[in-house]
Structure 1
Amino acid sequence: MSAAGVVRANGLTKRFGSFEAVHDLTFEVRPGRVTGLLGRNGAGKSTSLRMLLGLVRPTAGTATVFGHPYTELPDAARRVGVCMDGIGPTPGASGRRDLRIWARALGVGDGRVDEVLERVGLTDSADRAAKGYSTGMRQRLALATALLGDPELLILDEPANGLDPDGIRWLRDTLRALAAEGRTVLVSSHLLAEVEQTVDDVVIVQRTLRFAGSLAELTFDGVERLEDRFFTLIDDEDPAPGALAAAGTGPRTERPVHA
């Protein structure tokens, strides 16, 4: 792994009693790129993100963000924007009021609230009670909250949930624009067709690592579809020990030969 990795996981393992949710997970997220964290439901994606953020203590292994454990990272709340289940709007608050509460906690001004509301397309609904927002609007509000501190890194857990087709297209364009600004995005998702249009790099997990590398490496420069490669990798119940992908951290699969 390169020293430039913004996020680095090394041998992450998490057991809950006798159940091993994540086993020996190693990967990195490179700066200025959108990385998709992919896996079936129950594959360990959310647990892995929670270990990265210090919300769950690993049974073994380490995770760092900008070279530090998240809990020891200076100015972590502003450098890293997070959108995950369990971080909901303040009860009784409008969208704007909720963002202003977060903004004060981060030490940023109300002007930034207006900026992120516009960026996520909630300006016209900002003064409505957030409890009345649709699921898609709540996802937009959560992303606005993650953007408040003008973060270098965004960690987003299933941000497309509840978005309609227009919203999904908007999210894709927004994530690409954030990367173009030099930010780094780590996003978990189960929408494989959409991920294929959005990400630069892919990390596939099924309790343990199945692939880590660029989308081009995974799909053989577009010769195969992400969905087909995904199922080939996660349905392999016995990946060869020590087999590494071109990026250095996943099972190697030879390029297909076409007549």
Structure 2
Amino acid sequence: MTAPPVRFESLTKRYGATLAVEDVSFEVAPGRITGLLGRNGAGKTTSLRALLGLVAPTSGRALVFGRPYAALGTPQRVGVSIDGIGSTPGATVAGELGIWATAMGLSRAHVERALGEVGLSDVAGRKVAKLSQGMRQRLALATAFVADPELVILDEPATGLDPSGIRWLRRVLRERAARGTTVLLSSHLLAEVEETVDDVVILDRTVRYAGSLESLTSGGVQRLEDRFFSLVDAEEQYSHG
């Protein structure tokens, strides 16, 4: 049986006495957009960093195409945009993306395609340091897209984008999913996610829900925001009751 693009198996991560995530288990289906949702501090970024081998789980594991990310062998299968990956000092937009492409053994054509896809072709020669926050976010997406990967992992991809940029992001991600790309994105922007994703994982240190958006919202009868808070607030009331 083919392994899913992403699988979390009872992942737990402690930082000293602090429990960041506990017993996180879910799968991401191929060719769909899955939203990893939670409030600040819910464990979204910790989970993604564990998936990418950037932090070691205390117990459990997270797999990409059935393997730990470090053992994948073909990292071009996965595109990533996550906080903490800085740019090269003094680099231009095209130069920065070219560094990533070279590291993955990709041609200049991949750089040009990715810049076109995120709308940065006209500023390819501009210094990264001179970019607006929204343009920096587009460059981060270009880095994730440059290898034309099977799986894209995005941590808060709408940060810094204005309303038109958020609408553009939604279109780009839907187009990629239509071509068979699997997308896992973290976000706390519930209204926007509701317009973008197929599946939802609600995280509040542990998984509160994992399944389709349609099932969670009863086919759109209920709002994602209402269902989200009914799940996480109910757990808080239970734990403090």
Within 2, Cα distance between the matches of 1:19 and 1:92? 38
Higher helix residue share: 2
Structure 2 counterparts to residues 78-117 of structure 1, below 5 A: 78-117=76-115
Cα deviation digits, residues 99-118 of structure 1 (max 9, x gap): 11111111111111111111
CA contact (8 A) 1:13 1:58 kept: yes
CA contact (8 A) 1:13 1:22 kept: yes
In structure 2, do the counterparts of structure 1 residues 129 and 189 end up closer, same or farther at CA, with 3 Å as the change threshold? same
Within 2, Cα distance between the matches of 1:237 and 1:33? 28
Instruction: Tell me the equivalent position of 1:72.
Output: 71
Gapped regions of structure 1 (runs ≥ 5): 241-259
How far residue 212 of structure 1 moved from its aligned partner, in angstroms, is: 0.1
- Aligned-CA RMSD value: 1.5
Instruction: Tell me the equivalent position of 2:8.
Output: 9
Count of residue pairs the alignment pairs up:
239
Within 2, Cα distance between the matches of 1:63 and 1:140? 27
CA contact (8 A) 2:3 2:66 kept: no
Cα deviation digits, residues 158-186 of structure 1 (max 9, x gap): 01000001100000000101100101000
Structure 2 counterparts to residues 1-259 of structure 1, below 5 A: 4-76=3-75, 78-237=76-235
How far residue 89 of structure 1 moved from its aligned partner, in angstroms, is: 2.0
How far residue 238 of structure 1 moved from its aligned partner, in angstroms, is: 6.0
Within 1, Cα distance between the matches of 2:60 and 2:234? 24
CA contact (8 A) 1:89 1:95 kept: no
Within 1, Cα distance between the matches of 2:236 and 2:80? 34
Cα deviation digits, residues 50-84 of structure 1 (max 9, x gap): 111111100011111101011111112x0100000
Amino acid in structure 2 at the alignment position of 1:66: F
Within 2, Cα distance between the matches of 1:56 and 1:227? 30
CA contact (8 A) 1:172 1:198 kept: yes
How far residue 239 of structure 1 moved from its aligned partner, in angstroms, is: 9.1
Amino acid in structure 2 at the alignment position of 1:90: T
Question: TM-score w.r.t. structure 1 length?
Answer: 0.90
Question: TM-score w.r.t. structure 2 length?
Answer: 0.96
Q: Which moved more, 1:99-108 or 1:153-162?
A: 99-108
Q: Identify which of structures 1 and 2 has the higher relative contact order when contacts are C-alpha pairs closer than 8 Å and 6+ apart.
A: 2
Within 1, Cα distance between the matches of 2:2 and 2:60? 18
Cα deviation digits, residues 130-173 of structure 1 (max 9, x gap): 10101110000000011111110000000100000110000000
How far residue 224 of structure 1 moved from its aligned partner, in angstroms, is: 0.2
